[in-house]
């Protein structure tokens, strides 16, 4: 199982560490040929406008859209969730997403870096204790279309994780909190494919 991490910008090392510990062969993806060689992809947190711009400059934007639409299993965290959204609020000038998740996502929904926070989430799809979630300038899923379903919510009901087929988008950083269960869920979808 070859898992790619989109390595244009963001927390690539943290995802590599988790995936390697779970037994995956991890490759960085910076070019279309590298994307074509992987069985699943992680789009890490970082700055979504930078990821978008670099994906276009490297010729990856359209191949990413096509691969995701074609069923490539994808895990997107924070900026990765933004890039997976079909609809974006408060995007940068001209910002485009890769799509794949029938959702409307708002960038920086919780405020500036100083408003970053951690909390525990009960996630029905995961066995065991609550998930420790790290939110850093995090987005929020404001609306889900009929093709997607919520997998993680804050205690007040706001949606911070959603799934649509083999696409899993999270507003938080499980890799920063030592949480591996979402990566395990992602790897299961790669194995099933």
pTM of the model: 0.96
pLDDT attached to residue 110: 87
- Cα dihedral 162→163→164→167 (10° resolution): 110
pLDDT tier for residue 116 given thresholds of 50, 70 and 90: confident
**Active site residue: 15, 175, 179, 183, which one?**
175
**To the nearest whole percent, how much of the chain has pLDDT over 70?**
100
**Active site residue: 15, 34, 78, 179, which one?**
78
User: Domain residues for 170?
Assistant: 2-192
Task: Answer yes or no: 115 catalytic.
Answer: no
Query: How far is residue 91 CA from its own chain's centroid?
Result: 16
pLDDT attached to residue 161: 97
pLDDT attached to residue 31: 97
Q: Position of tokens 């525990």?
A: 120
CB 104 within 8 A of CB 88: yes
pLDDT tier for residue 90 given thresholds of 50, 70 and 90: very high
Query: How far is it, in rounded angstroms, from Cα 119 to Cα 9?
Result: 25
**Active site residue: 173, 179, 183, 188, which one?**
173
> Which residues share a beta bridge with 89?
106
Closest CA to 49 of 19, 79, 81: 79
CB 34 within 8 A of CB 4: yes
Q: Does 113 score more than 80 pLDDT?
A: no
What is the mean predicted confidence (pLDDT) over 6-15? 95
Number of domains in the chain: 1
Task: Answer yes or no: 142 catalytic.
Answer: no
Task: Answer yes or no: 143 catalytic.
Answer: no
CATH number of 15's domain: 3.40.50.880
């Amino acid at each position: 199982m070859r898992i790619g991490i989109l390595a244009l910008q963001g927390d690539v090392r943290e995802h590599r560490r988790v995936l390697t510990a779970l037994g995956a062969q991890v490759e960085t993806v910076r070019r279309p040929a590298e994307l074509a060689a992987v069985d699943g992809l992680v789009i890490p947190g970082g700055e979504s406008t930078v990821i978008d711009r670099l994906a276009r400059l490297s010729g990856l934007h359209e191949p990413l859209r096509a691969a995701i639409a074609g069923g490539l299993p994808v895990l997107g965290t924070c900026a990765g969730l933004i890039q997976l959204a079909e609809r974006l609020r408060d995007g940068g000038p001209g910002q485009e997403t890769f799509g794949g998740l029938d959702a409307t996502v708002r960038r920086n929904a919780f405020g500036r870096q100083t408003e970053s926070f951690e909390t525990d989430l009960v996630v029905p799809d995961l066995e065991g204790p609550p998930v420790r979630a790290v939110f850093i300038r995090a987005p929020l899923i404001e609306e889900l279309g009929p093709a997607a379903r919520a997998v993680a919510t804050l205690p007040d009901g706001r949606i911070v994780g959603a799934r649509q087929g083999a696409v899993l988008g999270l507003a938080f950083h499980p890799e920063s909190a030592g949480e591996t269960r979402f990566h395990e869920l992602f790897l299961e979808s790669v194995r099933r494919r």
